[in-house]
Structure 1
């Protein structure tokens, strides 16, 4: 058996189970000894421990940056870092290409409420409760979408490029995770998408939909949006104000 040393920083340690930690052998609370056989890439070794490659921003081998395809050598010492929200890496050190433009997302079956929140704040978010893992990966590649998931197996698939593991169970805290990770406050301009189907909302004349409105809505509101995909009407009522306050709480200026 050959051995390498691995040191994980920040929240990456949370992916390593207690049993896995015992098997690896933690040395001085600083690094793990890891046994391997044959020819192995550092990506395969890291993911065999339970840390998905999508969560890793930087790998240093004996102090020098390497990419996921690096073939590990006996006695190599790796320092493995998560994403730094307030720190920009040099292009030559990035393991994955920067996501181009305003983020678009695709979510797994566990994140339906988060999908509605992201749509409410205007982010193009694909979600169905019957997506298969392979479908999520295919759509993410074809449509250049960031995968958000609570399934580590999905995030470790080889073709996954842009992705993030959602750690919290609470949808509002999940929303904060995503806003922080992808700096979404920089993109939000007060507009929304349809929370039901992700369709784009278009301004509609009140006269055209007035017969469909409840009496109080008809009386107090004049600015409406319409989703042509699912025939739903929106206006800036109490729910809109409530979610605006939520945004102020999770992503203050």
Structure 2
């Protein structure tokens, strides 16, 4: 029987059974087990892992474990630029795009508000999320760790916080999105680009008095809603500014 000693660091411990957290422990491995197989068998999605050291040497997920190996597993490092963070093995992401699962219905429109193409449908089965993420090179956002263990999902984030605005801050910090945000570019409902329209085109799609108080308008060609820089826009602008300006957490050891 093959047995290896494992040690998980920082937030990866959140996925482990309590007796295994923040300490080295021995664990029996399946025959011909890879590092990925055992890491996920212990409860940690592979998308949360940045670095694996076996006996002090960096290895990939497909590394076969041997009896007596010492395995150290580290989380995504926080103080990295967006492209290195999102580079996975041989395939980098060219554009930052997301797909959010049914648990994140409040986060999806906030990411769209920040200008990030984000698919969301609370009826998506896990298989559809997996297929769309692979076909369109999207980052999977979820509170379901089992979803992130699916083989073809290579880019993903397990969301730890519960409130949508805090979830937005979490994603911004983990993926260093402040420099990539383009607020007010997408429709919050339809996830398609907004376009400017002349005041004359607005017609009855805005309440009485809005045309007199505002000069600039944008619209969504799917839902045909019209938007302008009112008090709601100002609140959303303040949220975007606060998220983009939030100091990043330092790298933890």
- Tell me the TM-score normalized by structure 2: 0.90
Structure 1 stretch displaced more, 76-85 or 31-40: 31-40
The within-5 A match list for 1:211-230 is: 211-230=204-223
Within the candidate set 170, 178, 186, 1:185 is matched to: 178
For the Cα contact (< 8 Å) 1:55–1:82, is it kept in 2? Answer: yes
Instruction: Go from structure 1 to structure 2 and tell me whether the alpha carbon gap of 1:95 and 1:35 turns closer, same or farther (over 3 Å shift).
Output: farther
Instruction: Go from structure 1 to structure 2 and tell me whether the alpha carbon gap of 1:123 and 1:37 turns closer, same or farther (over 3 Å shift).
Output: closer
Q: Distance in 2 between matches of 1:85 and 1:178?
A: 11
- Quote the offset at 1:248 in angstroms: 3.0
Hey, what does 1:2 align to over in structure 2? Answer: 2
For the Cα contact (< 8 Å) 2:196–2:219, is it kept in 1? Answer: yes
Hey, what does 2:146 align to over in structure 1? Answer: 153
- Tell me the TM-score normalized by structure 1: 0.90
The within-5 A match list for 1:87-166 is: 87=80, 96-97=89-90, 99-166=92-159
Hey, what does 2:17 align to over in structure 1? Answer: 17
Q: Distance in 2 between matches of 1:250 and 1:213?
A: 29
Structure 1 unmatched runs, 5+: none
Partner of 2:141, secondary structure, is strand
Q: How big is each residue's C-alpha offset from its partner over 1:162-211, in whole Å with a ceiling of 9 and x where there is no partner?
A: 11101111111100111112221111234321111111101111101132
Q: Distance in 2 between matches of 1:98 and 1:220?
A: 49
1:243 corresponds to 2:220: no
**How many residue pairs end up in the alignment?**
242
For the Cα contact (< 8 Å) 1:40–1:71, is it kept in 2? Answer: yes
Structure 2 unmatched runs, 5+: 247-253
Within the candidate set 45, 48, 52, 2:41 is matched to: 48
Q: Distance in 2 between matches of 1:32 and 1:95?
A: 28
For the Cα contact (< 8 Å) 1:68–1:95, is it kept in 2? Answer: no
- Quote the offset at 1:95 in angstroms: 5.5
Q: Distance in 1 between matches of 2:144 and 2:215?
A: 43
Moved >4 Å (runs of 4+): none
- Quote the offset at 1:147 in angstroms: 0.5
- Quote the offset at 1:143 in angstroms: 1.0
Q: Distance in 1 between matches of 2:178 and 2:122?
A: 27
Q: Which has the higher contact order (CA 8 A, sep 6+)?
A: 2
Please, what is the CA RMSD of the aligned residues? 1.8
- Quote the offset at 1:97 in angstroms: 4.7
Q: Distance in 1 between matches of 2:91 and 2:236?
A: 29
Q: Distance in 2 between matches of 1:98 and 1:12?
A: 24
Hey, what does 1:34 align to over in structure 2? Answer: 27
Q: Distance in 2 between matches of 1:195 and 1:95?
A: 29
Q: Distance in 2 between matches of 1:241 and 1:228?
A: 23
